[in-house]
Structure 1
Amino acid sequence: MRNLIVVESLEHWPKTAEGFEVVNAQAYLFQEEFQKAKNLRIYNLCASYSYQSFGYYVSLLAEARGHRPTPSVATLMEMKSKPAVRLASEGLDKEIQKQFAGLKSEGFELSIYFGQSLAKKYQPLADQLSRSFAAPMLRAKFTHKQRWNLTSVGPVGLTEVPQDHLPDLINFAQAYFNRRPGSKKTRTNRFSLAMLVNPQEKFPPSNERALNLFAQAGQELGLEVDRITAQDQAKLGEYDALFIRETTAVNHHTFRFALKAQALGLVVIDDPQSIIRCTNKVYLSELLSQHKIPTPKSQVLSKVDLLTHQVRIPFPCVLKQPDSSFSQGVVKVSGPEELKEKGLKLLEESDLIIAQEYMPTTFDWRVGIIGGMPLFVCRYHMAKGHWQIYKTTKGGKLLDGKVDVVAPEEAPYKLLSLAQKAAKLIGDGFYGLDIKEHDGKFYVIEINDNPSIEAGFEDQLLKRRLYSRIMEVFLDRLLLKVNS
């Protein structure tokens, strides 16, 4: 992929260097060579990024051409947003107070060129700001009243760089392009995919072996797969697709990644709408009820319902926090007193919870659906001596029951039909449907975005083919996007 620095005048760029080309904005905007070029990464250093300026149009038309602009128009708008800057200030507060402790001033400006600060003391802060706001050059302003706060951050045009900073700017740019992943080797793959993971996650949706198999499957299909983490949001514009392999939540960086990736035009699994719909059991209960999808008897409860004995679900029943996962925030209660005690505790985290009929079975069906089609079918057996498939020990260890896999063509037709019908209500992403079979009938318990794919479990039958089929969905959607 070619790296292209765009400036308003070539006179503004002091000298040539390796690893990138430099063109003026007029050439980039109007010359056929750049209008038709593919696989360009654009670093926009124009003098102004204001609405309808040359700098604005360089980023805007780069996106239209399928190039990868930095900063993107979305990033430019984000830096103008006071709530976004305030949120960034809150997230960086610990580092801000640490960096400026003892500084006798009411204000401070930090200039960042290709991720580097001229004052090495402030490099940790420069690193974090560069991850939050993807732009070749940034200027962040901080003010001090009772404590230090980030008050504004914005892109820096090349003409705003002081003359004595230019030699450092060139060196920083050279170092940036020399160390960029893939800058020393030519990317041979047509598309690139970012796989969001959390190496510290206690119960991740995919184990290490599965993550490696996803990467191998992608490579075989011509997808370059890179792992990224929560600190890499600014890198999203470098990719064509995002695959989230970290447990999702709406009030979490996984959701912000999905939103940003969607805004940048990436193919995203899980998409933001699927995360919103699947991670809230109150929403799912209402949705499934409205569309007459069979579920165990369910009731949305508030504190008033508990205190006034308005619970209609017979005992024993199951109480669930709206955003529970891996059986956390899910409890079984046997009578009114236990219902009140445990229900009130769950209501400390949410104004509403779910009460659901307890339906004892020796296993739950798990149907994996991607793009509306069944991918795998498993039986998740209950953890030994427990009523759920997961059991957390007092020491925090997660125990689970055995998993056996059934070929979709051998699974009950009614099971697959129900799973597909329910999944369609969420979208066309990647879902894991938990379904109980009771007295010959099937009932949807939950629809999960970001379902577990672990080597040795869900892949028992398809083996490597399971990972390939998921990567094929990304490739098909990328090709459809290009061709349309």
Structure 2
Amino acid sequence: MRKIVVVDYLKDWDAAIEDIEVIEAQSYLTDTKYTDIRNARIFNLCRSYRYQSAGYYVSLLAEARGHKPIPSVTTMQDLKSPTIVRAITVELNELIQKSLSSLRSKSFTLSIYFGQNVAKKYEKLCKQLHDLFQAPLLRAQFVFKDEWVLQSITPIPINEVPENHQSYLRRFAKSYFARHRFSGARITRKTYDLAILVDPDEQEPPSDKKAIQQFMDTADAMGFYVELITKDDYRRLPEFDALFIRETTSVNHHTYKFARKAFADGLAVIDDPISILRCTNKVYLAELLAKAKVPTPKTMIIHKDNRNEVEKELGLPCVLKKPDSSFSQGVVKAKDPECLKKNLDEMLADSELIIGQEFSPTDFDWRIGVLDKQPLYACKYFMAKGHWQIYNWEGKKQDTAGDVETVPFEDVPFVVLHTALKAANLIGDGLYGVDVKEIDGKAYIIEVNDNPSIEAGCEDKILKKELYASIIKSIKRRIDNHKNIRTDE
């Protein structure tokens, strides 16, 4: 993959960095040899990103050509809007106050060169701002009004970097390109760059180490450079063509932040932020399934005004779910009126709305894996030993989860498969795990999960390597579609 720094004039850039090509904007915009490059990363250091300027068109045409511009046009637009800047940086308020607490002035300007500042004490703040606004050179303006407020963040024209900062600029640039995975013989042989987001400390991740290695080996064989990343690698997302999340997702969590950022930057993403939003909120899911007339156990959206009707509507025992429950956590069985009252008190103290469902006991739930709106695998997830759920987090370690039986599609009842697909396709075209109960020949959707479990020896027992290949092929198609590359897959 070619790494190209684009400037208005060659004199604007005098840092010689290995494997970095430097050209003028006019050449990139008009010379057909740059139009035909299949894979390139464009580092746009033009003096202006103003609408319809050369700098604006460098990033715009880079996106149209399937290249990866930094900054993207989306970032350029974000930088122009004080409202968006404030909304995006609200989570940095504590860091801003801490970083600027020693200042006695009423205003402060912070210059950020490739994510760094000449003063070491602002290093963390610079890194965080650069993570949120991926542009090479940034100027953050702060004002003090009872507390420090980020008033604006704008690009710094490269010709306006002070002379006494030039040596820092060159050093930070070299560090940036050395630290980021933009060069190396191994990478240049690969067509695609895939990041797999994992949490090495997660107790029950969606994929075990063997499955992760299968994904990596399969992707490598299909022309991907693959790298495992963690929550600390947020700033590196623009280096990749695709993000595959293999860490349990949640909206109020870095997994959603990663998905949102990757999606906005044009990466192929599984799980995409829309799927995470839709699947992780059980209230949304209940409303969606009800509107589409997809069968579920009798379900009730519970709030403070109708809580006294739960026993009458659902009977006892009944199941109560927090809106963001997953892996059987945040899900309880209310067996009697006292238990019901206690759990309703606790759950409604945390959320305005929760979900109640009639209790429908079965020996197992069907889990239908769905990818690209087609069935991928089918399993029976048996209840944990002596428990009413698949997972029993209070049981002995060896009894935490029930057994898993992988089933060929010809042995899956048609009504189960059909209902699972109908539910998953309401969410999107990503990778989903649909939980279905089969009772008296009828199928009832329990939930649709983004980020489904794929573990070696379980979900892959029938398809084996082809299961991993199907997912990597889907990611490849998504990249190709974004880049308008023809594919025979």
Aligned counterpart, 2:138: 138
Within 2, Cα distance between the matches of 1:249 and 1:76? 28
State the 1:69 CA deviation.
Answer: 0.7
Within 2, Cα distance between the matches of 1:433 and 1:206? 17
State the 1:182 CA deviation.
Answer: 4.5
State the 1:157 CA deviation.
Answer: 1.5
Q: Does 1:3 align with 2:11?
A: no
TM-score norm. by structure 1 comes to 0.93
Deviates more, 1:80-89 or 1:376-385: 80-89
Aligned counterpart, 1:26: 26
Secondary structure of 1:117's partner? coil
State the 1:204 CA deviation.
Answer: 2.2
Aligned counterpart, 2:63: 63
Secondary structure of 1:293's partner? coil
Change (3 A) 1:169 1:216: same
Q: Deviations along 1:381-418, whole A, 9 cap, x unmatched?
A: 11111111111228999911121211223322322222
Deviates more, 1:294-303 or 1:236-245: 236-245
Q: Deviations along 1:67-97, whole A, 9 cap, x unmatched?
A: 1111111112222333443345443334333
Structure 2: 5+ residue stretches without partners: none
Q: Deviations along 1:111-156, whole A, 9 cap, x unmatched?
A: 2222232222322222222222211112222333433333322222
Aligned counterpart, 1:81: 81
Alignment RMSD (CA, Å): 2.4
The answer as to whether partners of 1:116 and 1:127 remain within 8 angstroms in 2 is yes
Within 2, Cα distance between the matches of 1:98 and 1:397? 46
Within 2, Cα distance between the matches of 1:309 and 1:366? 28
Q: Does 1:170 align with 2:170?
A: yes
Change (3 A) 1:89 1:299: closer
Q: Does 1:452 align with 2:448?
A: no
Structure 1 runs of 4+ aligned residues shifted over 6 Å read 394-398
Aligned counterpart, 1:254: 255
Within 2, Cα distance between the matches of 1:309 and 1:171? 65
AA aligned to 1:47 is: R
AA aligned to 2:161 is: V
1:266-415 aligned at under 5 Å gives the runs 266-307=267-308, 311-393=312-394, 399-415=400-416
State the 1:205 CA deviation.
Answer: 1.6
The answer as to whether partners of 1:375 and 1:408 remain within 8 angstroms in 2 is no
Change (3 A) 1:155 1:398: farther
The answer as to whether partners of 2:195 and 2:242 remain within 8 angstroms in 1 is yes
Within 2, Cα distance between the matches of 1:243 and 1:18? 30
AA aligned to 2:159 is: T
Aligned counterpart, 2:50: 50
Within 2, Cα distance between the matches of 1:137 and 1:288? 47
AA aligned to 2:229 is: I
AA aligned to 1:9 is: Y
Deviates more, 1:360-369 or 1:412-421: 412-421
Within 2, Cα distance between the matches of 1:85 and 1:53? 22
Within 2, Cα distance between the matches of 1:302 and 1:199? 38
Q: Deviations along 1:146-192, whole A, 9 cap, x unmatched?
A: 33333322222211111222222223222322332251334211111
AA aligned to 2:63 is: E
Secondary structure of 1:400's partner? coil
Within 1, Cα distance between the matches of 2:222 and 2:350? 44
Q: Deviations along 1:432-457, whole A, 9 cap, x unmatched?
A: 01111222322111111111112233
The answer as to whether partners of 2:298 and 2:314 remain within 8 angstroms in 1 is yes
1:86-105 aligned at under 5 Å gives the runs 86-105=86-105
AA aligned to 1:380 is: Y
The answer as to whether partners of 1:191 and 1:240 remain within 8 angstroms in 2 is yes
Identity %: 50
Change (3 A) 1:119 1:474: same
Secondary structure of 1:149's partner? strand
The answer as to whether partners of 2:197 and 2:244 remain within 8 angstroms in 1 is yes
The answer as to whether partners of 1:131 and 1:232 remain within 8 angstroms in 2 is no
Aligned counterpart, 1:228: 229
The answer as to whether partners of 1:390 and 1:399 remain within 8 angstroms in 2 is yes
Within 2, Cα distance between the matches of 1:230 and 1:311? 45
Q: Does 1:418 align with 2:440?
A: no
The answer as to whether partners of 1:301 and 1:311 remain within 8 angstroms in 2 is no
AA aligned to 1:339 is: L
Q: Deviations along 1:185-221, whole A, 9 cap, x unmatched?
A: 3421111122222334343222233222211111111
Q: Deviations along 1:274-298, whole A, 9 cap, x unmatched?
A: 2222122222222222222221111
AA aligned to 1:97 is: Q
Aligned counterpart, 2:193: 192
Deviates more, 1:127-136 or 1:170-179: 170-179
**Alignment coverage as a number of residue pairs:** 484
Within 2, Cα distance between the matches of 1:289 and 1:415? 17
TM-score norm. by structure 2 comes to 0.92
Within 2, Cα distance between the matches of 1:273 and 1:22? 38
Secondary structure of 2:135's partner? coil
Aligned counterpart, 1:428: 429
Aligned counterpart, 1:483: 485
Secondary structure of 1:203's partner? coil
Deviates more, 1:88-97 or 1:277-286: 88-97
State the 1:2 CA deviation.
Answer: 1.5
Within 1, Cα distance between the matches of 2:22 and 2:224? 28
Secondary structure of 1:61's partner? helix
State the 1:379 CA deviation.
Answer: 1.3
AA aligned to 1:240 is: D
Change (3 A) 1:15 1:127: closer
Structure 1: 5+ residue stretches without partners: none
The answer as to whether partners of 1:19 and 1:174 remain within 8 angstroms in 2 is no
The answer as to whether partners of 1:14 and 1:166 remain within 8 angstroms in 2 is no
AA aligned to 1:483 is: I
